Amino acid sequence: MVTIYGIKNCDTVRKSLKWFDAKGVENKLHDFRVDGIDVKTIAGWLDEVGGKVLINKRGPSYRNLSDTDKATLEQGGPAAAEILAANPTVIKRPVVDFGNTRTVAYDEARWAELAGV
């Protein structure tokens, strides 16, 4: 089972869900807005992929953060995970969890490799 983290009204998340469905890969959506996201999970993602990959600096959610919060995100660590948990729309979408590996952003080639399709 693949878990797709994001928000259901995000075009890229919807496109991702359709891709996995079309390939016959069992999946479920974990909607940040509905299901929330905990600091421990985000801290793990930051350790695995890093802030440069995980943080979406191009969106309005990031631009609306305070300069202090932006500086904290640059430094990483537990404080950055707390800011992302409180503002999950700053996380680049989708985060796709294959169980032992996570990918960030839309990446059909990598997903096909990891899902074996």
Catalytic residue among 2, 10, 17, 79: 10
For the chain, how big is the Rg over CA atoms in Å? Answer: 14
| Phi, psi of 92, rounded to the nearest 5 degrees | -65, 140
> Is position 8 annotated as part of the catalytic site?
no
Contact 60, 89 (CB under 8 A): no
Residue 58 CB neighbour total at 10 angstroms: 9
User: Which residues have a catalytic role annotated?
Assistant: 10
